[in-house]
Structure 1
Amino acid sequence: MADDDSQDRSHERPSTLRELRAAGWVSRPIKQEIREHAIAKIAAGEPLFEGVSGYENTVMPQLENAVLAGHDVIFLGERGQAKTRMIRSLTGLLDEWMPIVAGSEINDDPYHPVSRHALDLLAEQGEDTPIDWVHRDRRYGEKLATPDTSIADLIGEVDPIKVAEGRYLSDELTLHYGLVPRTNRGIFAMNELPDLAERIQVGLLNVLEERDIQVRGYKIRLPLDVVLMASANPEDYTNRGRMITPLKDRFGSQIRTHYPLDVPTEVEIMKQEAVPLAASSPDGDVSVSVPEYLGDVIATFSHLARASNQVNQRSGVSVRLSVSNFEALSANALRRGLKSGERNVVARIDDLGALPASSQGKIEIESLEEGREGLILDTLIKGAVLTVFKDAVDPAQTRAVVDAFEEGVIAHTGEDVSSTDLAALVEQVDALRGPVMALTGGDESPAAIASAVEFVLEGLHLSKRLNKDASGASATYRGRV
């Protein structure tokens, strides 16, 4: 929405048509308006909008081309690929404020009015016609396509109350405008477009292409100025034939989105979107941090799920999975800290036990056997830990650790084991210090060391170099001999 300063300056903007002309305001089509702002950003080396990562060399160049060409755009991609976020962010390419004929429901251009209300008002008051100003945030309309979406929702319907007030059905003023006309001179987005019934698609095409409205048997010419943006699942759009061909042809650009192509990008998005966790307790504030290697585990888990033949890839594995898992990991660490009395908590392997609860609603497991979902998720989590361990820990640094355990060292881990007790293992097994310090980056706090110790032990177990006896949330690591 508009900021307070903009609201305070509202009295400085022209309030009548005469003042608007005197101020030198120029009317231009919505696509030209967006194009001009895009040109300025591209020339300055700035992105079209902030907050979307991983598309710099793939999606963004295509979107810039579409905007410069003045195209309507449809984004094709699975869920959680920032399609709606990009569409909503395009409002940043609009003028901050736009003049309209006062009282207009469809943002009538004061120089080129189209509604009966605006035409009558200009005929009556001429240059004294009052002007209102609309902020760019209000020039965006959005609808999720559902089977029950109606013509009334998108285009309009006769308002029985206006008829009851004495107007004739043939009077255009009896019409209650739908979402598309109300987004005149703005951006209208239709999410999951193929789910729109074919007869509604025809009605939408009629407004956008033929520039007229047909409601209850009478016809109104309504030359709307709208940028149409849409999103769809590729399978629905390309294979099932659920789009009428003329409407599909209406889009000048079709842009494929994708999930993050690498783990660092997924981690960047994950940290950007996740809600930071902290808490106040009677003993003081509790803060939570997630070490880099565990963040990589969360992101790698999502990447492995996207490559797994046991996960339904048609429904996709959203980046929201990584965000939810990161938050669940942090929440479990926070809960552990509140119970143990630790103030500066560092997430560790124990906290990965929270991931199944935050994952099951976001991954569709393809399994014929009942109850295998948990086993498949556990396998994916272990695979992620092992993958990150192999990248993060030098095998040469762990040989002496394995030797120590084969000589009789035993380590106990779990939620009930304090960070101090786990960190003490480094004093008992001096060979642990090298890999642990490499993981903590030199942080010698008990919580950071405990997290690194547990990660090394779990990695060695998954590499089949240590045995692990698990019982509930507790585990015991020992040599394999």
Structure 2
Amino acid sequence: MSQPATLGELKAAGWQSVPVKEEIRRNAIARIRAGEDLFPGIWGYEETVIPQLETALLASHDVIFLGERGQAKTRMIRLVLDLLDEWLPVVAGSEVNDDPYHPVSKHAQELIAAEGDHTPLAWVHRSHRYGEKLATPDTSIADLIGEVDPIKVAEGRYLSDELTIHYGLVPRTNRGVFAINELPDLAERIQVGLLNVLEERDVQIRGHKIRLPLDILLFASANPEDYTNRGRIITPLKDRFGAQIRTHYPSDVDVELDITEQEATLPEADVPVIMPDFMGEVLVYLSQLARQSPHVNQRSGVSVRLTVSNYETLAAAAIRRCLRSGEAAAVPRVTDLDALAPSTMGKIEIETIDDDRDAEIVGNLRKEAVRQAFKDAVDLEVQQQVIEAFEDGRVVNAGDDISSADYAELVGEIPAFAGALAALGYESGDLEHPGLVASGIEFVLEGLHLSKRLNKESLSGAAVYRGRT
């Protein structure tokens, strides 16, 4: 459908102007009634954060998210854009998305006064109705609100002329959604400049006697005040937000694994990657254990980005191994978990007196993650069946130098492994895939060792498993 090109055509089309919060509220109501998901791709918040956010939007409230890093705060804010109308008419040439029916800038007011119903319009897509600023200590009022433009003054305008103003990010997002990330990092004197935006809904620039009433839905994000010493949110500003929503890390292993698989970008290579569920669960347990560890700085948080980064690293390590061995598919094994040290230490802050203990702490977390994932997957009866196979002095070699085909032969030699693989969710067809079999057997062997049911001798990346005597 063609869009009206002038103010007169817009009136004739019957278009109605509504505030941005009412626009979002109206579209949210329609989608909720239709049973649609307002925030697709956000996992683990179905019973906590999302109901609170939906309520805030229905109440037309500005929102501040409190939570540690990597809790999808910015992603949820950006998804609110989908609740805007796809196209919005503005006065042509306006820097602040002037409403043709209710212009606020001098440019739009003078243009409509001169042209009337012939005033030209422009149409703005909802993707361009979003502004975002990462708060930093050097952020200025000019960045957010605006400043006198010396170039316009040099062109002959008077300083008292409103048209000399270069608008900041907030006015330029008029009739849209604006987000300030890490709000406590914003200097307190700059936070004061946002008070009018939130309450009186206007801005004042460099003493100009103007009132620029803005139509904005404002979001902010911050780490909880208890977790940061970088700054604080001044009380009058915090009081002006209609809703404060606390985010959190996923507590369920399956939910975090779903998030990880959604976010991870596996390396593109000629070698396809097959990630067994139990190996993904090991990575989730590693992150969850780090969130509880006294050796990890909990004030900075341990985000899902750690799980995603480790997922990608584990896949890459398996690809590297397969490229060297010539195998057709890369299936991550316990042997590949050694590659996680750099990606893990790059995502968490370890608190220890001895600098050389970082690798040891990460290694212990990794071992405990394997043990917990194994305990959840394989019950004691199945474990005992595998243990009995080692009672006659049987030993099994493991490591990078052991091919998947060698592991696959063990299923025939030690039938108990077939039962253990079934406990991991393997079906009969999976037993025909040597890489999957190798991954499962290594996981079972390491799980039994960490559960103190098998002995293990390690040397230069290779391992020998045998029964306990």
Secondary structure at the residue paired with 1:309? coil
**Aligned match for 1:449, one of 437, 440, 464:** 437
Cα deviation for residue 394 of structure 1 reads 2.1
**Greater shift in the superposed pair: 240-249 or 426-435:** 240-249
Contact persistence 1:277–1:287 (CA under 8 A) = no
Q: Which residue of 2 aligns with 1:475?
A: 463
Secondary structure at the residue paired with 1:396? helix
Q: Which residue of 1 aligns with 2:76?
A: 86
Q: Could you give the per-residue CA deviations for residues 121-164 of structure 1, whole angstroms, max 9, x where no partner exists?
A: 11111100000000000000000000000011101111111111
Letter in 1 for 2:363: D
Cα deviation for residue 307 of structure 1 reads 1.4
Separation (CA, whole Å) in 2 of partners of 1:27 and 1:288:
52
- Normalised TM-score (structure 1): 0.94
* Alignment partner of 1:55 is 2:45: yes
Contact persistence 1:212–1:220 (CA under 8 A) = no
Letter in 1 for 2:466: R
Separation (CA, whole Å) in 2 of partners of 1:103 and 1:132:
8
Cα deviation for residue 441 of structure 1 reads 2.8
* Alignment partner of 1:258 is 2:245: no
Q: Which residue of 1 aligns with 2:138?
A: 148
Q: Which residue of 1 aligns with 2:451?
A: 463
Secondary structure at the residue paired with 1:424? helix
Cα deviation for residue 408 of structure 1 reads 1.8
* Alignment partner of 1:177 is 2:167: yes
What are the equivalent positions in structure 2 for 1:320-331 lying under 5 Å apart?
320-331=305-316
What are the equivalent positions in structure 2 for 1:59-458 lying under 5 Å apart?
59-235=49-225, 242-280=232-270, 286-439=271-424, 440-442=426-428, 443-444=430-431, 445-458=433-446
Q: Could you give the per-residue CA deviations for residues 200-219 of structure 1, whole angstroms, max 9, x where no partner exists?
A: 11112133333443333333
**Greater shift in the superposed pair: 289-298 or 211-220:** 211-220
Separation (CA, whole Å) in 2 of partners of 1:27 and 1:130:
17
Residues 227, 237 of structure 1: CA spacing in aligned structure 2 closer, same or farther, 3 A cutoff? farther
Residues 54, 236 of structure 1: CA spacing in aligned structure 2 closer, same or farther, 3 A cutoff? same
Separation (CA, whole Å) in 1 of partners of 2:383 and 2:194:
64
Separation (CA, whole Å) in 2 of partners of 1:429 and 1:238:
55
Separation (CA, whole Å) in 2 of partners of 1:178 and 1:341:
57
Letter in 2 for 1:441: E
Contact persistence 1:437–1:449 (CA under 8 A) = no
Separation (CA, whole Å) in 2 of partners of 1:219 and 1:247:
24
Separation (CA, whole Å) in 1 of partners of 2:228 and 2:331:
46
Contact persistence 2:185–2:231 (CA under 8 A) = no
Instruction: Give unpaired runs (5+ residues) of structure 1.
Output: 1-8, 281-285
Cα deviation for residue 327 of structure 1 reads 0.7
Q: How many residues align?
A: 466
Cα deviation for residue 358 of structure 1 reads 0.9
Secondary structure at the residue paired with 1:406? coil
Separation (CA, whole Å) in 2 of partners of 1:410 and 1:104:
77
Cα deviation for residue 239 of structure 1 reads 8.8
Residues 240, 359 of structure 1: CA spacing in aligned structure 2 closer, same or farther, 3 A cutoff? closer
Letter in 2 for 1:217: G
Secondary structure at the residue paired with 1:231? strand
- Normalised TM-score (structure 2): 0.96
Cα deviation for residue 330 of structure 1 reads 0.7
Q: Could you give the per-residue CA deviations for residues 69-108 of structure 1, whole angstroms, max 9, x where no partner exists?
A: 0100000000000000000110000000000000100000
Contact persistence 1:194–1:237 (CA under 8 A) = no
Contact persistence 2:21–2:60 (CA under 8 A) = yes
Letter in 2 for 1:335: R
Q: Could you give the per-residue CA deviations for residues 337-372 of structure 1, whole angstroms, max 9, x where no partner exists?
A: 111111122111111111111111111111111211
Contact persistence 2:91–2:99 (CA under 8 A) = yes
Separation (CA, whole Å) in 2 of partners of 1:467 and 1:434:
21
Secondary structure at the residue paired with 1:220? coil
Instruction: Give unpaired runs (5+ residues) of structure 2.
Output: none
**Greater shift in the superposed pair: 128-137 or 295-304:** 295-304
Separation (CA, whole Å) in 2 of partners of 1:13 and 1:161:
35
Secondary structure at the residue paired with 2:196? helix
User: RMSD over aligned Cα, in angstroms?
Assistant: 1.5
Q: Could you give the per-residue CA deviations for residues 296-338 of structure 1, whole angstroms, max 9, x where no partner exists?
A: 1111111111111221111111011111111111111111111
Contact persistence 2:185–2:230 (CA under 8 A) = no
Separation (CA, whole Å) in 2 of partners of 1:304 and 1:254:
28
Separation (CA, whole Å) in 1 of partners of 2:318 and 2:328:
11
**Greater shift in the superposed pair: 236-245 or 189-198:** 236-245
Q: Could you give the per-residue CA deviations for residues 148-203 of structure 1, whole angstroms, max 9, x where no partner exists?
A: 00011101111111111100011111100000000000000000111111111111
Contact persistence 1:288–1:330 (CA under 8 A) = yes
Separation (CA, whole Å) in 1 of partners of 2:311 and 2:103:
51
Contact persistence 2:287–2:302 (CA under 8 A) = yes
Residues 416, 239 of structure 1: CA spacing in aligned structure 2 closer, same or farther, 3 A cutoff? closer
